[in-house]
Structure 1
Amino acid sequence: MTTAADTVATGPALIRAAGLFVPLLAVVLAAAVRRPGRADVAAAIVGGAWQLALLPGLNLLAGRLGWWSFQADGGTVVRLPVDLLLGWVLLWGVLPPLAAARLPWPVTAALLGWLDLAAMPLLDPVLRLGDRWLTGEAVAIALCLLPGLLLARWTARAEHLRLRAAGQVLLAALLMLALPATAAGVRLPHGAVLSTGLQVLAVPMLLGVAAVREFVVRGSGTPLPYDPPLRLVTSGPYAYVRNPIQLSLLLCHLVLAAFTANAWLLVAAGVTVAYSAGLAAWHEGAQLAERFGPGWAEYTAGVRSWLPRLRPWPGTAPAELHVAQTCGVCSGVGRWVLDRSPVALTVRPAEEHPAGLRRITYESADGRERAEGVAALGRALQHFHLGWALLGWVLLIPGLAWFAQLVADATAGGPRELRTPAERRPAEPPSADLL
């Protein structure tokens, strides 16, 4: 005989089971009806990862602000039911690229938003809604649903490369740094220890961001294995070490473990090494060897996986630096560059360039990148050695590069018309731009 207690216990169990298995069944059916291609899989991974990264934090915020709260026994992490969270991730992140790839994204967002509004009250008593739960729903749609849909859509259609790469950087920071640190119960120190730790942490983070930038600019791709670069990238950080992104994550975990005195973060570092040395080296390495053949074999023979070179690999992508020779200060910069014996970098007179340059200019031989002013200097520094390369990566940070160029322009380093020696009058002083 079924008792009232059994009925009460069965209700929440059915709600939690339906919250997980209904979205899961929808994903399976969508994949069976239209077999997903490589781009669809990439979009589903990115969409699911976005929801996995943001939905837990949103639900914790909802509990603090009284939007809604969960009443669940067992199967929870930080008091959040894992089954309902996974169902939400599948519904908002994984399902749309598989089932609604041809629908306009506003229509998809409206359908999923309406479905969520209808389903939330039905989850009682597992989910208790507060008086302002619609405010929380609006925040969830704005921060989780819409950006996740757009990021997945751009990935599937190979659009907005820089934005989707930036989204992947944010996801890596949340899922591979913030999430392990939160799960390990990390408590940040105060004062000088925190300041020093953050400064040290900035170095490996700079390496990872520079590597992602190199994938975007020189390879027209992202770090996601299903959304990879179209060309073999051997410049920038990849001229020094073969796995700069994995190395960046490893060093970040080690630095965090050191200045927070939390040994659990060493486990995250071990997972990073195991993934890179195992699955990535086996699966991704085989794919790269198949795609790039002898070029990949030559690269792996000259660049190590984890231990960076002090000088860039001689086979790195060549480039030219155009510096004015009719300006004393500018030509001094050219001599300074040559004195450091740059690798795969040729210094040429700016006056000989057919485009009529107005700043010091860096051009890659493959035509994939052209940088001027401070950015050109930042690119050139990467051809010296690892120490100068770190400074070069700093100078290429978008906001900082703009500010440094602004300072250079304000201190008589602005762009000017550059004339060839034949066009200059004897009494005319040298006129060229250094940066």
Structure 2
Amino acid sequence: MTPELPALLVRGLGLFLPLVALIALCLWRAPTHRETASMIVASAWALLTLIPLNLYAVRAGWWSFHAEGAVWRGLPVDLTLAWVLLWGALPALLLRLLPVPLITGLLVWLDVILMPLAEPVVVLGSWWLLGEILGAALCLIPASLLAYWTRHEQLLTARMWAQALLAFGLTVVLPVYVSATLVRIEPPTPETASVLVQLLFLAGLPGLAAAREFAAVGRGTPLPYDPPERLVTSGPYAYVRNPMQLSMALVYLVLGLSHPVLALGAVVCFAYGAGFASWHEGGRLRADFGSAWTGYRSGVRPWLPRWRPWPGRTEGTLYVAMDCGMCRGVGNLVAARRPTALRMRPAADHPEVLYRLTYETADGARWSGLAALARAMEHLHLGWALTGWVLSLPVVRHFLQLCADAFGAGPRPSRERPTAHGPTEPFAVMLVPGRPRTGPPPGSGGPT
């Protein structure tokens, strides 16, 4: 036996065995859309975590790779892909048979057996079990849990944020890192990096807000195999049809400021969005939503955003406390800008007792406090909408809500029903822009 044969067997069997196991499970029972979605997200998580784990493991001396050909940054590409299948797609299909704890234990046990057998390609150090434990904690277990939640349609918001993180990692971080190693892109200066980070944030904001809109309004995610249940026309989709593809193209245009080769990513994003994505998603949306999709498509452009939101977008209602000067000021600020598809009502008109400024849609979705104001901003114009999307970011929203409460915008109940002693007529007219007020004037009380 020649010295090269063991290495060839290790690399061949390393990729062949998990691939055969995956194909066998697929042939035994074809994956459903939900299982396909779980395989995609689990594999994406495994890929984005196994690469840095192996790079660090080599540096820390936990293990090292000795291979020739199909090697990137010292990592055998075939064995890396095999590990992704073993800890990503395979656990997602094994959920048919076993729970997550048993899958984790089985695959860790299998990995502990196979790693020493992978010599001479993989040479283990004295602390390799530490790397194995860390890999299971950071790679295998989160990937399996993400597959489980996707398969059983649980923790929608967490899945949406995970998919946003994975999409950014797979479509921006990993390609940029690979490009930097191939064309030797020099890192920017601190001053330039600061400007680039701010521009990247603005470029990615519509796409992030669109992903959030899919979860909050459409009850789905951006993944085609885990789509929204209803047509989403609110949020960024009231301004442009392809906010995620547009954001990705803008991100690469910003990155192109640091090196021209990165601007090619914008061309790829545009070609994908205008080609395959437009054909595939357009056909699916037309089949699922019929005339609603056709009307929306005729009113909203795919790449060039509108300045004002599409009038046919999902309507919302903003409930404002009438006995609160700060709340009335907010109501006047919104109403004076002639919002599109937004009805404004006194908080006392709501059948429940409200404690804050409240925004509702017809299907019962509700936001309160600063989140309600951010939703109302989306009905004004693109500039206000961008501000609202910033305010809606989790950490930003919670911090600013605490600041607002400290300055007097804390919750207070709206207990009084409408009476004849309501606000002045001009505000009542502004409260429902473009519509004359009928019936008794609204009363006092309500959320802030």
TM over 0.5: same fold?
Answer: yes
Counterpart contact for 1:330–1:433, Cα < 8 Å: no
Counterpart contact for 1:414–1:433, Cα < 8 Å: no
The Cα shift of 1:433 comes to 6.7
Counterpart contact for 1:316–1:344, Cα < 8 Å: yes
Q: Structure 1 residue 403 and structure 2 residue 385: aligned?
A: no
Q: Structure 1 residue 104 and structure 2 residue 99: aligned?
A: yes
Q: Structure 1 residue 388 and structure 2 residue 384: aligned?
A: yes
Distance 1:324 1:99, change over 3 A: closer
- What does residue 372 of structure 2 align with? 376
The Cα shift of 1:421 comes to 6.1
Within-5 A mapping of 1:255-266: 255-258=254-257, 260=258, 262-266=259-263
Q: Structure 1 residue 225 and structure 2 residue 237: aligned?
A: no
Distance 1:352 1:99, change over 3 A: closer
Counterpart contact for 2:322–2:444, Cα < 8 Å: no
Q: Structure 1 residue 31 and structure 2 residue 26: aligned?
A: yes
The Cα shift of 1:328 comes to 3.5
The Cα shift of 1:65 comes to 0.9
The Cα shift of 1:422 comes to 4.4
- What does residue 117 of structure 2 align with? 122
Counterpart contact for 1:416–1:431, Cα < 8 Å: no
Counterpart contact for 1:48–1:94, Cα < 8 Å: yes
- What SS does the aligned partner of 1:347 have? strand
The Cα shift of 1:268 comes to 2.2
Q: 1:294 aligns with which of 277, 281, 291?
A: 291
Task: Supply the distance in 2 between the matched residues of 1:133 and 1:49 (Cα, whole angstroms).
Answer: 24
- Give the letter aligned to residue 286 of structure 2: A
The Cα shift of 1:222 comes to 0.3
Task: Supply the distance in 2 between the matched residues of 1:150 and 1:238 (Cα, whole angstroms).
Answer: 30
The Cα shift of 1:324 comes to 2.0
Counterpart contact for 2:355–2:447, Cα < 8 Å: no
- Give the letter aligned to residue 257 of structure 1: G
Q: Structure 1 residue 168 and structure 2 residue 163: aligned?
A: yes
- What SS does the aligned partner of 1:231 have? coil
Bigger drift between 127-136 and 329-338 goes to 329-338
- What does residue 277 of structure 1 align with? 274
- What does residue 329 of structure 2 align with? 332
Counterpart contact for 2:354–2:447, Cα < 8 Å: no
- What does residue 317 of structure 2 align with? 320
- Give the letter aligned to residue 368 of structure 2: E
The Cα shift of 1:116 comes to 0.4
- Give the letter aligned to residue 415 of structure 1: P
Counterpart contact for 1:180–1:265, Cα < 8 Å: no
Q: Structure 1 residue 146 and structure 2 residue 159: aligned?
A: no
Q: Structure 1 residue 10 and structure 2 residue 5: aligned?
A: yes
Counterpart contact for 1:326–1:421, Cα < 8 Å: no
Task: Supply the distance in 1 between the matched residues of 2:296 and 2:151 (Cα, whole angstroms).
Answer: 30
TM-score, normalized by length of structure 1? 0.94
Task: Supply the distance in 1 between the matched residues of 2:337 and 2:307 (Cα, whole angstroms).
Answer: 13
Bigger drift between 201-210 and 108-117 goes to 201-210
Distance 1:423 1:314, change over 3 A: closer
CA shift digits 1:160-182 (9 cap, x unpaired): 11111111111112111110110
- What SS does the aligned partner of 2:64 have? strand
- What SS does the aligned partner of 1:219 have? coil
- What does residue 352 of structure 1 align with? 349
CA shift digits 1:32-68 (9 cap, x unpaired): 1112111111111111111122111110011111111
- What SS does the aligned partner of 2:3 have? helix
Task: Supply the distance in 1 between the matched residues of 2:238 and 2:319 (Cα, whole angstroms).
Answer: 22
- What does residue 209 of structure 1 align with? 208
Q: 1:73 aligns with which of 62, 65, 68?
A: 68
Task: Supply the distance in 1 between the matched residues of 2:331 and 2:41 (Cα, whole angstroms).
Answer: 44
Task: Supply the distance in 1 between the matched residues of 2:250 and 2:130 (Cα, whole angstroms).
Answer: 40
- What does residue 254 of structure 1 align with? 253
- What does residue 91 of structure 1 align with? 86
- Give the letter aligned to residue 263 of structure 2: L
Task: Supply the distance in 2 between the matched residues of 1:8 and 1:17 (Cα, whole angstroms).
Answer: 15
Task: Supply the distance in 2 between the matched residues of 1:123 and 1:30 (Cα, whole angstroms).
Answer: 25
Counterpart contact for 1:43–1:155, Cα < 8 Å: yes
The Cα shift of 1:266 comes to 2.1
Q: Structure 1 residue 19 and structure 2 residue 14: aligned?
A: yes
- What SS does the aligned partner of 1:48 have? helix
Counterpart contact for 1:16–1:84, Cα < 8 Å: yes
The Cα shift of 1:91 comes to 1.2
Task: Supply the distance in 2 between the matched residues of 1:329 and 1:100 (Cα, whole angstroms).
Answer: 53
The Cα shift of 1:420 comes to 4.2
Bigger drift between 109-118 and 150-159 goes to 150-159
Task: Supply the distance in 1 between the matched residues of 2:163 and 2:186 (Cα, whole angstroms).
Answer: 26
- What does residue 341 of structure 1 align with? 338
CA shift digits 1:307-362 (9 cap, x unpaired): 11111110100011111223343223222211101010011111221212221111
The Cα shift of 1:128 comes to 0.9
Distance 1:42 1:417, change over 3 A: closer
TM-score, normalized by length of structure 2? 0.91
Q: Structure 1 residue 192 and structure 2 residue 187: aligned?
A: no
Identity of aligned residues (%): 50
**Count of paired positions:** 423
CA shift digits 1:359-416 (9 cap, x unpaired): 111111221x211111111110010000000110111111111111111111121111
The Cα shift of 1:199 comes to 0.8
CA shift digits 1:240-298 (9 cap, x unpaired): 1111111111111111121x2x2221232222122211111111211111000000011
Task: Supply the distance in 1 between the matched residues of 2:229 and 2:283 (Cα, whole angstroms).
Answer: 16
The Cα shift of 1:206 comes to 1.6
Task: Supply the distance in 1 between the matched residues of 2:261 and 2:51 (Cα, whole angstroms).
Answer: 21
The Cα shift of 1:144 comes to 0.5
